[in-house]
Structure 1
Amino acid sequence: MSITTTYLSKTEVQSLLDVTAFGLWRIAKKYDDFPTPEKNPGPFATKDGEVWDGTKLYRWMAKTPEFEHRGAALLRPLPADLSSGKWAGYQDTPKGPALDWHTALGTIRLVHTSKDQAASAVAADLAHRGNPDGVTTVCALYGDISFSGPALVATDTAHPTIEYEAQWGVVAQLAGQDLPWWPGLLRSAELIRQWQPGAPALVAEVPAGTGEQILRRAAANSVFDAAAQAALTYMANDIRNDRVRNAEHDIELFGRHSTHLVIGARPDTSTHPLPAADDRQTLAAGSKVIAASSHPDAVAALELVLAHDPRLLPFGALTKIALHPGTAAEKWARRLTLCDPTAAHAALADGRPVDAFFIDPLTDMPVLRTTTGDAPGLRFYAPLALPDTGAELTSVVLDGTVWVKTSDGQVHPAPCTPHEHLWWGDGWGDKPSEAATVINTLLDDLGATIDLREHWTAPRGLTALLEKQAKPGPTEIARHTLLHARMTTPPRSYED
């Protein structure tokens, strides 16, 4: 969440300060710290090109005795004889559950949400309805921790378009008691409605998120085999365990760094942690089945696998290339086999129009043909390894990605891990060590599985060769050139 900036015209500033044009000129002369107008506010510019940041101006007013009565309510000096406030109960709002507090400054409504512009939206709704509850200020959660507790965004109903940051400790001082707070995953209307001063923290089950629900629905689908169902269940359990741990962590963090705060609810940990897979082979085997399925549940589940842990899938990095006649990509494309779409194809498409669905019969990688304008292109996952046929690398072609030509007459997109990408040329100080590592590995063993965890240790000569390659147009580099380069030790530059 953030503080939304509202820009005010000169007329609006005069209205906020209740002064004439001359009065505004006098204020600017009298106060050296009076906010100056913005000279380049973009789309907020007025005819004379000047607007004021409403938050800055509203904060300044609250700290300036002449105007504090018109400034931000929660930034004004507190009364010396401050009387204790009173809890005024639960309220539903358009942006979520809220609790009201009657205070010496009026009723403060604290909305327990960190949605953007929640405070101003609730204040505007109240103002539009004539403010039937007599609320002076609406607060919402900023999402992080400030000096005295959870940071707050505030909006006064007198000026519902202006947001400013307020202090938890100030609101607690006005309320005359510690304020309740709920971790985000337990910030529900049902739980907040049950709270009252002095009540112990409720123990509640952390609700299942959308991802967990999708995985559990798929795990219950008999169309998938036992391996896939087990993998889906374990991933759903992992997500649930993470959510419980996150709620516990937030409670520990906010409780330790806050004053005047009481915890409204704690997660039920009586059945946690839920069982997780003992080995990644179980998860990988099940994930492979999901990727090859065409069931709608598999499509939704695979998106979560890719987000949760893409290394469980037999796919490398997502790769996109243009398709031109006579190129290595075009030769590879002739090898592809048309197929029915799978969940993996759906993930590749990512909502884009698709001309045809393919699979590489030698690596089992899914491939899409798409058209952007007049140029056809391919989207595919790079393989994690090439077929171990006993052949050797004869050359590489740099064209969109790294292509590998082999002694048995095949051409392959070079293997790559899910979180890396293959590139070459001048990296403005960065080195194309990922591509150098892949080529170095394949020169010795065409069927080796690629490991890029320490790609920066690639042979410096091979890395330097790739660094010198120009980006435009295909470039083919023969095996003997690659072998010679990796045996070469180029002089170190000051950038190394």
Structure 2
Amino acid sequence: MGLITSHLTKAEVQELLGVNSFGMWWLIREHETFPASDDHYDPGPFARFSDTPQEPMWQGTQLYRWAAHDPEFQQRGAVLLRPLADDLQPGKWLGYHDTPQGPSIDWHTSLGTIRIVHTTTLGAASAVASDLARSGNPDEVVTVCALWGDMGLSGPALVAADAAWPSIEYEVEWDIIAQLTGQDLPWWPTLLRLPDLIRQWKPGAPAVTAEVPDSDREKILRRAARNDAFDRVAKGALIDMANDIRNTRVSSVETDIEIFGRGRPGRGRSPIIIAARHDSDVHPIPTVENRKLLAAGWSRIAASTEPDAVAALGVARSRDPRLLPYGALTEVPAKPDTVVARWARRLVPCDPIAGHIELAGDRSVDAFFLDPVTGMPAVRTQGDKPRWFFFAPLRLPSGRGKLASAILYAGVWITTTDGQVHPAPCDPREHLWYGDGWGDRPTEAATVIHQLLDDLAADIDLSEHWNAPRGLTNLLNEKHRPGTELSRAALLHARMTPHKRAH
């Protein structure tokens, strides 16, 4: 999260400070600490072409903070940044409120009613304060606070927006609110920041034990696991990934509580009450350690024609793509007389499976194909400039000779001594490229070629691609025309050349 950046015109600055034009001139001239206008303010694309001189603008937060700390203008500055009275009276809890930005709790204080919205949504404080101003502020809320999402010096960091100037947000410390209320303030971990839980809270209430709600991804996987079209192995893979997501979510609650509950090192205890905790008795859920068994289940899901398989496959690609039978998603132009056209000639049209639908996404596709050699699905888009989308193989088939050459065309392609051409195998979390990488170097492609030179059917390992042979990396780092073919001899020679190649 962050602060909503707002800017004030000269007229708005005068209104905020209660001065006329002469008073504004005097402030700028005589107050050394008065904020300068924002020279970096962007008035928008149309104003740049206007002949009218641009009016100076001031950063709202900067000016509002300045006013709160200046003795002459502090009653017009940020409410929660003004000096606090020495004889503060304890505040009072006023109860729960629903807001369009999330659940909130109101507190009566010597400054007036403070509304704390328990959300980290960007601009939430300003949005709630603006709604109050438009509605006439029936609850007489002086200021609205929302969570920043990080840890401040004295507790959870807060963003505030005052009802008088709702467009201006500023940072405020947790202990300022605690001093005004005269008590520790409740806080809920992100995943337990639920309206029903917050609505139940009242001062003195013990922490509620609550189940962390299912995420959308968990729901997709568990729904698919109830589909009888999948066998026991596939269902086991679906349930295991759902359980793994559940464990991660519970762990995030534990981490939240640990970080926010202990406060800043060296600053003592934060005035915070952990208002909800997860049910630790049933977590973590045991998960399957046999990744080969899980991969077998996901192979069956990827080959399914069930809609549930499509949704589950999308979850798996973002969660743990190395369990899938597919490498990196690759996109290349469907042009004749290219290495892509050579490869495409062997593709077999087929009915779509889940893997095809994951490839297609929302693209307009005219046909679905399967590579009979590697088993990888592929789709071709429609339009004047059709393109191929496919998953790179994880490995090339054995018994197909040796690597004969590498062709550089919208990626890396491998030809073999038995006359075949393949997209180079690639880990699903990586991509293969060549040429000048603006400081980066194509070590991924160099590593793949290095391994295939020794064993065409090698299981590709890119975990330490930065240790690729320097000569191969230098060769691929050179500028190459699309379609350049590097022979086996050239690749072997480069691999044995440790120094940088001359251009």
Shorter-chain TM-score bucket reads over 0.9
**In structure 2, C-alpha distance between the alignment counterparts of 1:39 and 1:455, rounded to whole Å:** 46
Pick from 305, 319, 327: which aligns with 2:316?
305
**In structure 2, C-alpha distance between the alignment counterparts of 1:469 and 1:390, rounded to whole Å:** 30
Q: What amino acid is aligned across from residue 227 of structure 2 in structure 1?
A: N
C-alpha offsets along residues 421-460 of structure 1, whole Å, 9 cap, x if unaligned? 1122223443322212211221221111111112222222
For 2:37, the equivalent position in structure 1 comes to 37
Pick from 331, 337, 342: which aligns with 2:348?
337
Matched, 1:93 2:99: yes
For 1:325, the equivalent position in structure 2 comes to 336
Alignment of 1:97-112 (within 5 A): 97-112=103-118
Alignment of 1:16-165 (within 5 A): 16-43=16-43, 48-165=54-171
* Unpaired runs of at least 5, structure 2: 264-268
**In structure 2, C-alpha distance between the alignment counterparts of 1:193 and 1:111, rounded to whole Å:** 12
For 1:389, the equivalent position in structure 2 comes to 399
Cα deviation, residue 43, structure 1? 3.3
C-alpha offsets along residues 35-65 of structure 1, whole Å, 9 cap, x if unaligned? 1112342236696332111111111110111
C-alpha offsets along residues 373-395 of structure 1, whole Å, 9 cap, x if unaligned? x2221111110111112411111
**In structure 1, C-alpha distance between the alignment counterparts of 2:445 and 2:351, rounded to whole Å:** 32
Q: What amino acid is aligned across from residue 420 of structure 1 in structure 2?
A: E
For 2:299, the equivalent position in structure 1 comes to 288
The range that moved more, 285-294 or 54-63, is 285-294
C-alpha contact (below 8 Å) 2:471/2:500 kept by paired residues: no
Kindly tell me: are residues 376 and 6 of structure 1, through their superposed partners in 2, closer, same or farther at Cα, counting changes over 3 Å? same
C-alpha contact (below 8 Å) 1:391/1:406 kept by paired residues: yes
C-alpha contact (below 8 Å) 1:151/1:165 kept by paired residues: yes
Q: Secondary structure at the match of 1:136?
A: strand
For 2:8, the equivalent position in structure 1 comes to 8
**In structure 1, C-alpha distance between the alignment counterparts of 2:283 and 2:466, rounded to whole Å:** 40
C-alpha contact (below 8 Å) 2:409/2:483 kept by paired residues: yes
C-alpha contact (below 8 Å) 1:318/1:418 kept by paired residues: yes
C-alpha offsets along residues 292-332 of structure 1, whole Å, 9 cap, x if unaligned? 11221111111110111010011111111112211111010
Cα deviation, residue 371, structure 1? 4.2
Q: What amino acid is aligned across from residue 479 of structure 1 in structure 2?
A: R
C-alpha offsets along residues 7-62 of structure 1, whole Å, 9 cap, x if unaligned? 11111111111111111111111211211112342236696332111111111110
Cα deviation, residue 492, structure 1? 9.2
The range that moved more, 398-407 or 43-52, is 43-52
For 2:370, the equivalent position in structure 1 comes to 359
For 2:214, the equivalent position in structure 1 comes to 208
C-alpha contact (below 8 Å) 2:411/2:434 kept by paired residues: no
For 1:271, the equivalent position in structure 2 comes to 282
Cα deviation, residue 268, structure 1? 0.9
Alignment of 1:221-260 (within 5 A): 221-257=227-263, 259-260=270-271
Q: What amino acid is aligned across from residue 115 of structure 1 in structure 2?
A: T
Q: Secondary structure at the match of 1:229?
A: helix
C-alpha contact (below 8 Å) 1:123/1:157 kept by paired residues: yes
Q: What amino acid is aligned across from residue 371 of structure 2 in structure 1?
A: D
Cα deviation, residue 353, structure 1? 1.7
Q: Secondary structure at the match of 1:270?
A: helix
**In structure 2, C-alpha distance between the alignment counterparts of 1:439 and 1:108, rounded to whole Å:** 63
**In structure 1, C-alpha distance between the alignment counterparts of 2:128 and 2:448, rounded to whole Å:** 56
Q: What amino acid is aligned across from residue 339 of structure 2 in structure 1?
A: A
Q: Secondary structure at the match of 1:335?
A: coil
C-alpha contact (below 8 Å) 1:40/1:49 kept by paired residues: no
C-alpha contact (below 8 Å) 2:394/2:427 kept by paired residues: yes
C-alpha offsets along residues 228-285 of structure 1, whole Å, 9 cap, x if unaligned? 1100101111111111111011001101116110110100122111121131112111
- Segments of 4+ moved more than 6 angstroms: none
Q: Secondary structure at the match of 1:462?
A: helix
Identity rate of aligned residues, in percent?
Answer: 58
* Unpaired runs of at least 5, structure 1: none
**In structure 1, C-alpha distance between the alignment counterparts of 2:400 and 2:420, rounded to whole Å:** 12
Alignment of 1:362-377 (within 5 A): 362-371=373-382, 374-377=384-387
Kindly tell me: are residues 127 and 489 of structure 1, through their superposed partners in 2, closer, same or farther at Cα, counting changes over 3 Å? closer
Cα deviation, residue 491, structure 1? 5.1
C-alpha contact (below 8 Å) 2:37/2:56 kept by paired residues: yes
Pick from 475, 481, 487: which aligns with 2:496?
487
C-alpha contact (below 8 Å) 1:39/1:49 kept by paired residues: no
Q: What amino acid is aligned across from residue 215 of structure 2 in structure 1?
A: G
Q: What amino acid is aligned across from residue 344 of structure 2 in structure 1?
A: A
Pick from 437, 444, 456: which aligns with 2:466?
456
Cα deviation, residue 337, structure 1? 1.1
Task: Name the TM-score, length of structure 1 as normaliser.
Answer: 0.96
For 1:407, the equivalent position in structure 2 comes to 417
Kindly tell me: are residues 49 and 39 of structure 1, through their superposed partners in 2, closer, same or farther at Cα, counting changes over 3 Å? farther
Cα deviation, residue 122, structure 1? 1.1
For 2:266, the equivalent position in structure 1 comes to none
Q: What amino acid is aligned across from residue 15 of structure 1 in structure 2?
A: E
Q: Secondary structure at the match of 2:197?
A: helix
C-alpha contact (below 8 Å) 1:441/1:450 kept by paired residues: yes
**In structure 2, C-alpha distance between the alignment counterparts of 1:424 and 1:463, rounded to whole Å:** 9
**In structure 2, C-alpha distance between the alignment counterparts of 1:131 and 1:463, rounded to whole Å:** 65
**In structure 2, C-alpha distance between the alignment counterparts of 1:79 and 1:352, rounded to whole Å:** 63
**In structure 1, C-alpha distance between the alignment counterparts of 2:431 and 2:216, rounded to whole Å:** 30
Q: What amino acid is aligned across from residue 323 of structure 2 in structure 1?
A: L
What is the alpha-carbon root mean square deviation over aligned residues? 1.6
C-alpha offsets along residues 196-228 of structure 1, whole Å, 9 cap, x if unaligned? 111110111111111111110011111111111
For 1:435, the equivalent position in structure 2 comes to 445
The range that moved more, 155-164 or 349-358, is 349-358
